[in-house]
């Protein structure tokens, strides 16, 4: 509002003079900051983005087959199961051969994997991934023979076949060749056709259970409240931090799909948990915005980190009618030989700490070790996950 006042009334602003203009600019900046802060705190998340329906899920499929048509990059004779599989395949087609005389340089034994989506119907097509299980050098240019894909219950749900696409290549001669990416794993887009109905009968649902993707009691409570508010009566109950049950009959919905669609398009206020995730192999550190540090000192080799928090009483301006407030003033000092330091004020967080450590030359692996030490000392008020 203050920013608009400056634009719409320039002559009035000139009459006020520079002090008044600076005051109006300060008010505008404060309002914008409050608006941005409010949008972050009141971030809305759709229920469909943070839950899934119990009983509505994907299923994994796997099969064993052969890739043919390779250019002398297939399995060797020592891979006996490839020879046996090829002999059995030819036998089913009426060709009788002895496994010992089969040459499999152009053939590779593979496992075929796929994900059967929820509500899959016969005739639908799904992508498949083909991976060598022998000692083949490459499956580039190969064609997958008809392969049955089975679910964990042993039933065949799809059949896969087709030419492979490899995200790489290998060219050259022995001693002078170049390879890019994995050559023993390929993919067939829409390479499998669903043969068995895997759909769930939603009409039998008496209760629709929403399963939260991340455990959160507050989110479960808010989901139940927003559903009850939408329908004007109590039809949803938070069972635990992962599950919210919705009574189908009490909702009065015409069908379960319509009920699910209406519920999933509702939104709640969500605040991400304080969490820090580190990857020791790559030195990657990912953190949430609400992670804070408590007073703690960490010494690693010649590197010293000192985090101190003090309580400061802030007095209101004269004649303002306000009350004195107590705020935390945090200072972090990092030293090394030769001594270097950083200073953080008014609530140090992990982001500022890591930026300061990078500024003095600390490596990613040093930062990961420091965060683990701070967590062990109780100074990191967040969940630290190492992957």
- Mind listing the pLDDT tens digit for each residue in 102-121? 778 899 999 999 999 999 99
Residues 95 and 175 occupy one common structural domain:
yes
Count of domains forming the chain: 4
**Average pLDDT over the chain, rounded to whole?**
79
Residues 32 and 115 in one domain: no
In this structure, the answer to whether residues 7 and 112 fall within a common structural domain is no
Q: Is residue 51 part of a domain?
A: no
Residues in the chain, overall count:
387
- Choosing from 215, 247, 269, the residue where a domain stops is 269
On whether residue 54 sits in a domain, the answer given is no
Looking at residue 6, what is its pLDDT?
37
Is residue 155 in a domain? yes
Q: Are residues 262 and 291 in the same domain?
A: no
In this structure, the answer to whether residues 225 and 315 fall within a common structural domain is no
Residue 133, domain extent = 59-194
**Cα 249 to Cα 241: distance, rounded to the nearest angstrom:** 24
- What is the per-residue pLDDT across 4-51, written as a single tens digit (0 to 9) for each? 333 344 444 444 444 444 444 444 444 444 344 444 445 789 999 999
Question: Tens of pLDDT along 254-265?
Answer: 999 999 999 999
Whether residue 86 sits in one domain with residue 187: yes
Please give the Cα distance from 153 to 33 (Å, whole number).
57
* Coil, helix or strand at residue 219: helix
Q: What number is the average pLDDT over the span 264-276?
A: 86
- For residues 181 and 231, state if they share a domain: no
31 is a domain residue = yes
Q: Are 282 and 303 part of one and the same domain?
A: yes
Same domain, 32 and 140: no
Q: Are residues 230 and 186 in the same domain?
A: no
Of the candidates 269, 286, 311, which is a domain's last residue?
A: 269
pTM of the model: 0.66
Residue 147 is assigned to a structural domain of this protein: yes
- Per-residue CA distances from 43 to 211, 268, 328, 383 (Å): 21, 8, 26, 21
| Angstrom distances, CA of residue 143 to CA of 71, 121, 150, 275, 279 | 12, 26, 20, 46, 38
In a domain, 144, yes or no: yes
Domain final residue pick, 129, 163, 194: 194
Residues 289, 234 share a domain: no
Q: What are phi and psi of 225, to 5 degrees?
A: -65, -45
Q: Is 48 contained in some domain?
A: no
Same domain, 240 and 304: no
Residues 260, 52: contact at Cβ < 8 Å?
Answer: no
Whether 80 is in a domain gets the answer yes
């Amino acid at each position: 509002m203050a920013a608009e006042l400056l634009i719409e009334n320039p002559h009035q602003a000139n009459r006020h003079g520079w002090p008044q203009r600076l005051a109006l600019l300060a008010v505008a900046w404060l309002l914008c900051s409050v608006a941005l802060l409010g949008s972050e705190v009141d971030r809305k998340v759709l229920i469909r983005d943070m839950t899934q329906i119990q009983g509505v899920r994907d299923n994994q499929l796997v099969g064993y087959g052969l890739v043919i048509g390779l250019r002398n990059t297939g399995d060797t004779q020592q891979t006996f199961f490839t020879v046996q599989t090829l002999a059995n395949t030819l036998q089913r087609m009426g060709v009788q051969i002895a496994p010992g005389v089969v040459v499999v340089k152009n053939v590779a034994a593979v496992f075929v994997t796929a994900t059967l989506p929820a509500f899959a119907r016969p005739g639908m097509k799904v992508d498949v991934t083909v991976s060598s299980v022998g000692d083949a050098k490459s499956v580039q240019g190969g064609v997958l023979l008809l392969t049955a894909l089975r679910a964990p219950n042993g039933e065949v749900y799809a059949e896969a076949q087709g030419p492979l696409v490899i995200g790489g290549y290998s060219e050259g001669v022995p001693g002078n060749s170049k390879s890019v990416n994995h050559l023993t794993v390929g993919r067939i887009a829409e390479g499998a056709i669903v043969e068995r109905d895997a759909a769930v009968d939603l009409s039998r649902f008496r209760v629709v259970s929403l399963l939260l993707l991340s455990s959160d009691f507050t989110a479960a409570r808010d989901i139940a409240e927003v559903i009850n508010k939408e329908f004007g009566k109590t039809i949803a109950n938070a069972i635990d931090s992962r599950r919210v049950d919705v009574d189908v009959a009490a909702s009065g919905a015409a069908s379960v799909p319509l009920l699910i669609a209406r519920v999933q398009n509702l939104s709640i206020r969500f605040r991400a948990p304080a969490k820090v995730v580190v990857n020791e192999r790559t030195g990657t550190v990912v953190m949430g915005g609400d992670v804070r540090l408590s007073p703690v000192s960490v010494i690693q080799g010649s590197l010293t980190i000192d985090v101190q928090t003090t309580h400061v009483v802030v007095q209101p301006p004269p004649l303002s009618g306000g009350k004195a407030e107590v705020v935390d003033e945090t200072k972090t000092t990092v030293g090394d030989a030769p001594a270097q330091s950083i200073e953080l004020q008014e609530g140090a967080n992990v982001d500022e700490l890591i930026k300061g450590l990078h500024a003095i030359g600390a490596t990613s692996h040093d930062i990961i070790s420091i965060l683990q030490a701070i967590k062990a000392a109780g100074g990191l008020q967040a969940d630290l996950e190492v992957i």
